Structure 1
Amino acid sequence: MKFTVADILDQLHSSGIISIVELEQRLGLFTKIEKQQLSITISALTQIGILRETDEGIERVSNDHIVEAQLRCSSKCFCFALRDDGEEDIYIRDYQVNYAWNGDRVLVKIIRDGGRKRSPEGEIICILERQSTSFIGQLERRKDKLVAIPLDDRILSVIDLIEEPKFDLDLSQQIIAEIKIDRYALAQLPAQGHVVRVLNIKGNVVSDRELLIAKYALPHHHPLPHFVLNTPIGKHRYDLTEQTVILWKGFDSVDNLSLPGITIQSTAPFSGGTSIRLWIHAPLIAERVELNTTLDLWLRKRANALFVMGEFVPLLTRNLAEDSEFKVGKTQSAISVALDLSTEGELIHYRFFNSLIRPTIELNSRILSAFRYRKPETQSFSHPFTVAKDYLNEIDQLFALASQLRRRRLAIGSVDLDFPDLPINALGDQCLSKPTETHNGWMISTSCIQPFSLLREFLQVAHSALGHYLSTLGLPCIYSANEAADPAAINEVAKTAAGINVTCRLNEDGNVSSLQEMVIDFAATDRVRVLNQQLKAIIPGITLSSQPKPNIVSGGYMAYANWTCGSLHYADIFNQYILSWLLGKTHPKLYGSDNSLAIADGNKYRELLKTIANESDLLSTFYDLINANLVNCLEARSLFAADLLADGVALAQARAAESLLGHVLTGVITCVQSYGFFVEIPPFNLEGLVHVSSLKDDWYEYHPKQNRLVGRKHHRAYILSHKVNVRIQTIEAIHDQIDLVVVNPDSSLRLYDKGESLP
């Protein structure tokens, strides 16, 4: 069908009634068959109590016990519905899943409230939207019937293939294929599908990329909608073409990437004192793409630029990327913000502009390295860096400001974790830090000569300015939120560290003083990587929200709204729509003498906005989109992008390690469980499992509080962070499964005396 149940409900977010004709228009349904499908769907939703039909049209029925959620399943048949409203997850028993698959958006009816030690329980009454219509699976023949077994063991189903492939299959070998779903399971009818193509699992980069594309149902070709780009308005643009605007080249393999430019002015008068003035110039996308057009909807559905095994999949169309990209020497329209900062890096004041800029120079890691590590008082540089020598003062100021902003961010509560780049050529730029952190609740600690390590510090201030501005005015916005780590969880990590003889600074109450101090304590040990892995597990990730919330990873700002990297994320484009709409208003009270937007009296501006809103329906459209589940959809796509990125890294690690199959290596124990322990082995930081059944020399007991397995007879202990010699026994890259066995345990493994009490 052309629509999903989610599409219908997204149009019925308010309590008002909508006519069938208007709903058909909103969904773009014009043919008789499409309208019949809508009628059948509405009838079914009415019968289960989701919708109500009246003479004027249809409306959604309010029911606090029916919630929207996304299904998350495990290979052990445990399923939870993750609620869109952020409330406690709902446990779904296997017989109440009702043919939904992992990742599907669903409607859940709560049938049992949660207790102090029990999650609420529910049943799935409707599947709103399938996560994908295809998957990769292994072909098998069962009872003369060809079936596909999903490689993702969270998909708890077997799919009947409705027709034999038109090519010969040797089922004595493992055959992995891309399967297209023709019918999902319903009542007594099993799921059916057909083979799209057989996939190569031999392990070259191209075939592995195809595996990921098939696994995540990414289209091979991206059919473009019909569109015409708008030309940015030339009037009332603040002329900044005489400024020195610095561009940043962080990715070597990515072209036509529209990223912001930076200008720094050493001092500027402010309130009788001095401040640093930092300009952020964002590529202008919102004025080129009209809201709710086919191109805007196409970008909204894609949501993010992606990396697939080192290959960059852009968000923007080529024409849009080329049109909005900043280039040295080319005058370009932009949205700029002037940020007045104290010498300590605190944001004092800001103003937004429609602007014209002419970038001056582009910096990459080689140029930054030459500047950073030049000899004192050196003014001469070898080719190709001579072109940048005229900007020595500006670049030195940017280094100093980025360092100050980072110190302030860390002091407020943000965390940088050290995870060095992997030496895997297939990943390319995929493992580099990005201009903005959109998923992890911590920053990757990178070298100061990495362009994005500087750029990300500057952009955080610009994003906090827009978040503060829109939240003060009460305007719709997509905020980026990141909660602080749970103090109890932090203390548990401290106990884990103490178990391996790493001490943390504690306050008078015996608790960890701060997460940042713990990171510093860990960095001073030779077990920093293992302990950082423990921290990763307890630091909440970044989420998108329609309400202003704290963003700890970016320095604790209360309202934080990304808007400068529209070439990477649609959320930035949406926020840019709001800002462009405001900048396009001609009401004199909104502007300063230089056509800039600044915040003064929030109440006065709210009253003013009521008048402006009556001039156009665009503001109500913004509110409709925010209320119509846009934030949750973009959040789901953000998680999708994070999973894809992680899978690509894991697959590349496994492939790179296949040459080490059968070799004996020394690794570090990174996790201990009752069924065995995980070991990370160099040089690719590959993590494999030593299953407890492979430990033949003793019967091992699990001591969870001490993170160790201890043998009953010989008292040999396998302890978190300890080194151990292992052989790589098997590598199943496409299953992300590495099996290891211990080889010749030596004295590095603790042997307890028989009379010694175990800790």
Structure 2
Amino acid sequence: MVVDPYQKREANKYKNPIPSREYISSWLSKCEDLISQKYLEKKFGINNQEEKKALRRRLRAMERDGQVIYTRNRCYIAPESIKVVKGKVIGHRDGYGFLRVETLKDDLWLSSEQMKSCIHGDIILAHIINANGKRRSSARFLKLLQPNNILIVGRYYINSKKIRFVIPDDVRFSFKIFIFSDTRDDISIGSIVVVKLKQHPIRNNKIQGFIVEILGKEMGTNLAVEIALRTHSIPFSWSKEITKQLCNISNKVTQCDFKNRIDLRHLPFFTIDDEDARDFDDAIFCQRKEELEEGWHLWVAVSDVSFYIQPNTPLDKEALERGTSIYFPSSVIPMLPEKISTDLCSLNPYVERLCLICEMSLSNTGELISYKHYEAVICSHGRFTYDEIFKIWNGDIFLRSKYKKFLKEIENLSYLQKIFNQNNIAKKGIYFESIEPKFILDSNSRIENIYQNVRNDAHKFIESCMILANIASAYFVEKYKHPVLFRNHDRPKKDNIVSFRLFLNELGLTLLGGDVPESAHYSTLLKNASNRPEYEMIQTILLRSMKQAVYSPDNRGHFGLSLSSYVHFTSPIRRYPDLILHRVIKHLLSKHKNISVNNYNFCNSSLYSISEMKKIGAHCSLTERRADEASRDVFDWLKCDFMYKKIGYILNGVISNVTSFGFFVRLNQFFIDGLVHIASLNDDYYYFDSLGMKLIGKSSKNIYCLGDALQVKVISVNLHERKIELSLYKSY
């Protein structure tokens, strides 16, 4: 039995005193292992039931106040005696996993034994077990903080013993889910179903669940979309409350809506988008300044979504939950219902639409001199594609004849684009000449053909106009210090800079700027490498070395664009941060400019607090990544479906990535990547040089590195795992 130095104090307070909080904490902090309550009872000489109950209550209170940690196996440990971290579990197909902790550079290893207490996507509390030498540090599960309650998509099977189970489609859930016997009997074996887990895994217990939805059996693009939506927990249906709110919104713009708006219907605004664009957020118009002035006036009209979507309404809450529209090859999951996104707020040609205008005055070299924002009504005079504008600029006789009455305005756009191009307007940061594949789908929404989608001058012109409007909007809101979501792009990590420079050294290239290179140094590098055959690969590796851009009320600047502040203003139909910005701009116009604005009560000193903005920014950053991952899943399936018909083909390609298990090859003809596994390189034993990003033959000294041109053969395609396997046919 041990003696508590605070025993006298406890005896004065309680009839049946038990060890004090201080003593329990002190004693536990000296223990390196997990301690059960029974062990504590024995150690402290607690025998009767009343004292045991009192100890249990005290331990629970200490857990509540963070003085002890209660683990899943019903044991206690002092927080200060171990390195406790909170992180997200990342599962692996082979049963083990990793713990991703925001404050740590590397993920922590979770053994298959530790993974028996958690699943992919869980937020857990764990303690770090430091490894010796070069081994990765590992984590030991302590407590489940936030379970991953998502629905799991998988294939339904019945074994020889009539036991029903589902194998998850996402290989990071590396377990079978056993289905309760009361499940309906008419589900076909091999059907793709959606499962809800009955409970979280308990060590050595089978994971059980209920089938809540049957998606189908034969894979296709539409089913791939359905799987992606459920895998990433993306909302895709509209509630009754939203339907009711939509019924109260007029089907057309009325004269009453024009109140307090500047009438710009006489100006020939155009929308310029891709051929398959589904909604039109923005329209532009420009003209030279009058004779006594040099320079240009540029109007960017952006759909006034905030007029229809007011804060804290069902539509607003759903838009926030979705965060962004998601564009799949065969469909779109819009942030806002079609009545708003493709009708009332879409700047369709020849109809009156409500807009928020960013009117800018530019110098004769295209620099932003001044700007102003205001509400207006416009009428788009035409819907053009990038290719149409580009062809008109380059003298296409048919199109110039077809749009004869707009030639002056279209030529003005061309003159302004030449000024932008000559003076690198909107290109002062890191400018990528991206080459993206364009998929042509057949009537079944499957890839029929793939070609290179080259950005022309019309793309670059619209991009410059949008960036200028975003910059002007950032200046405006920053001037009044109102909380807003900035689009932050932080500097790359020092380790990433070092790795990128090692890659460049292999190519005989140099990134200037010392330990802290600026955007201009990256831009100079790309300019110097623009005529090299490895140019696309250099861009790819550079992108991988960069951090992701995020939304936050803390303005940290945009490294990629070389700007001290940046916001998103031009796409409120499909991005929630843009909708927030419109509300803030209207609020500031009403408060500081004494301009009457529509549909809001702007008496409050602030629309949003900093803490609200932080939560919204974090959520919108997450939904953006979620949308990217979901669309990538579908495109990966489409690529595999397409390549399945190419098994046995011999194709030319370039090494796009090198790993310890092989190298990926981008096929020149299709812009699709496949893996040449290291095991298939049977002419030598190859080891991975992580610094030089290459595989080196131990005996032959053969080297496979980024940018190498070679021929490969398509060996197999795994549609379920979305993997394309290649073998080396010939290297040059």
Shorter-chain TM-score category?
A: 0.7 to 0.9
Which residue, 581, 586, 602 being the options, matches 2:587? Answer: 581
Q: Is residue 722 from structure 1 mapped to residue 708 from structure 2 by the alignment?
A: yes
- Cα 1:360–1:48 change in 2 (3 A) is farther
Which residue, 298, 306, 319 being the options, matches 1:286? Answer: 306
Which residue, 364, 368, 373 being the options, matches 1:343? Answer: 364
SS in 1 for 2:457: coil
Which residue does the alignment assign to 1:259? Answer: 281
Which residue, 338, 346, 349 being the options, matches 1:328? Answer: 349
Q: Is residue 216 from structure 1 mapped to residue 235 from structure 2 by the alignment?
A: no
Q: Deviation at 1:89? A: 7.0
SS in 2 for 1:493: helix
Deviation string 1:562-602 (CA, Å, 9 cap, x unpaired) is: 122111111111121212223344xxx5248xx79xxxxxx
Q: Deviation at 1:286? A: 1.1
Which residue, 516, 521, 525 being the options, matches 1:514? Answer: 521
Q: Deviation at 1:477? A: 0.9
Q: Is residue 493 from structure 1 mapped to residue 479 from structure 2 by the alignment?
A: no
Q: Deviation at 1:685? A: 2.1
After superposition, where does 1:337-376 map in structure 2 within 5 Å?
Answer: 337-374=358-395
Q: Is residue 81 from structure 1 mapped to residue 90 from structure 2 by the alignment?
A: no
- Cα 1:706–1:476 change in 2 (3 A) is closer
CA contact (8 A) 1:471 1:548 kept: no
SS in 1 for 2:289: strand
Which residue, 454, 458, 462 being the options, matches 2:465? Answer: 458
Which residue does the alignment assign to 2:613? Answer: 626
Which residue does the alignment assign to 2:575? Answer: 569
Which residue does the alignment assign to 1:524? Answer: 531
- Cα 1:69–1:719 change in 2 (3 A) is closer
Which residue, 644, 665, 672 being the options, matches 1:686? Answer: 672
Determine the C-alpha separation between the residues in 2 that align with 1:580 and 1:143: 66
Which residue does the alignment assign to 1:606? Answer: none
Q: Is residue 446 from structure 1 mapped to residue 455 from structure 2 by the alignment?
A: yes
- Cα 1:673–1:328 change in 2 (3 A) is closer
Q: Deviation at 1:137? A: 4.5
Which residue, 498, 503, 512 being the options, matches 2:508? Answer: 503
Q: Is residue 421 from structure 1 mapped to residue 440 from structure 2 by the alignment?
A: no
SS in 2 for 1:735: coil
Deviation string 1:110-153 (CA, Å, 9 cap, x unpaired) is: 77899999989686745447473232346464975322222322
Letter in 2 for 1:235: K
- Cα 1:324–1:683 change in 2 (3 A) is same
Structure 1 length as normaliser, TM-score?
Answer: 0.74
Deviates more, 1:629-638 or 1:662-671: 662-671
CA contact (8 A) 1:676 1:690 kept: yes
Q: Identity over the aligned pairs, expressed in percent?
A: 15
Determine the C-alpha separation between the residues in 1 that align with 2:144 and 2:607: 30
Determine the C-alpha separation between the residues in 2 that align with 1:312 and 1:619: 34
Determine the C-alpha separation between the residues in 2 that align with 1:304 and 1:135: 23
Q: Is residue 102 from structure 1 mapped to residue 123 from structure 2 by the alignment?
A: no
- Cα 1:479–1:670 change in 2 (3 A) is same
Which residue does the alignment assign to 1:38? Answer: none
Q: Deviation at 1:630? A: 1.9
- Cα 1:293–1:722 change in 2 (3 A) is same
Q: Is residue 181 from structure 1 mapped to residue 200 from structure 2 by the alignment?
A: no
Letter in 2 for 1:367: E
SS in 2 for 1:320: helix
CA contact (8 A) 2:349 2:379 kept: yes
Which residue does the alignment assign to 1:410? Answer: 427
Determine the C-alpha separation between the residues in 2 that align with 1:614 and 1:215: 40
Determine the C-alpha separation between the residues in 1 that align with 2:375 and 2:513: 52
Q: Deviation at 1:447? A: 1.4
RMSD: 4.2
Q: Is residue 483 from structure 1 mapped to residue 498 from structure 2 by the alignment?
A: no
SS in 1 for 2:586: helix
SS in 2 for 1:721: coil
Which residue does the alignment assign to 2:319? Answer: 299
Deviates more, 1:571-580 or 1:185-194: 185-194
SS in 2 for 1:421: strand
After superposition, where does 1:102-181 map in structure 2 within 5 Å?
Answer: 102-104=120-122, 106=123, 108=125, 125-128=143-146, 130=148, 132-137=150-155, 139=157, 141=159, 145-163=163-181, 166-167=184-185, 175=190, 177-181=192-196
Letter in 1 for 2:427: L
Determine the C-alpha separation between the residues in 1 that align with 2:337 and 2:422: 37
SS in 2 for 1:534: helix
Determine the C-alpha separation between the residues in 2 that align with 1:114 and 1:265: 66
Q: Deviation at 1:368? A: 0.6
Q: Deviation at 1:51? A: 10
Which residue does the alignment assign to 2:222? Answer: 206
Deviation string 1:237-278 (CA, Å, 9 cap, x unpaired) is: 223233232222324252xx1411212131269xx9644322
Q: Deviation at 1:339? A: 1.7
- Cα 1:491–1:275 change in 2 (3 A) is farther
Q: Deviation at 1:541? A: 1.8
Q: Deviation at 1:558? A: 1.9
Determine the C-alpha separation between the residues in 2 that align with 1:129 and 1:233: 47
Q: Deviation at 1:732? A: 0.7
Deviation string 1:270-324 (CA, Å, 9 cap, x unpaired) is: xx96443222211111121220011111111111111223422222112222122
After superposition, where does 1:736-747 map in structure 2 within 5 Å?
Answer: 736-743=722-729, 745=730
- Bigger Rg, structure 1 or 2: 2
Letter in 2 for 1:245: F
Alignment length (residue pairs):
642
- Cα 1:312–1:718 change in 2 (3 A) is same
Which residue does the alignment assign to 2:263? Answer: 239
Determine the C-alpha separation between the residues in 2 that align with 1:736 and 1:356: 48
Letter in 1 for 2:98: C
Which residue does the alignment assign to 1:248? Answer: 272
Q: Deviation at 1:646? A: 1.9
SS in 2 for 1:410: coil
Determine the C-alpha separation between the residues in 1 that align with 2:626 and 2:263: 40
SS in 1 for 2:720: helix
SS in 1 for 2:307: coil
SS in 1 for 2:154: strand
List gaps (5 residues or longer) in structure 2.
1-58, 68-78
Which residue, 407, 415, 420 being the options, matches 1:397? Answer: 415
Determine the C-alpha separation between the residues in 2 that align with 1:703 and 1:87: 24
Determine the C-alpha separation between the residues in 2 that align with 1:167 and 1:682: 48
Determine the C-alpha separation between the residues in 1 that align with 2:469 and 2:380: 19
SS in 1 for 2:539: helix
Letter in 1 for 2:673: E
Q: Deviation at 1:517? A: 2.3
CA contact (8 A) 2:192 2:215 kept: yes
CA contact (8 A) 2:486 2:551 kept: yes
CA contact (8 A) 1:146 1:160 kept: yes
Letter in 2 for 1:216: H
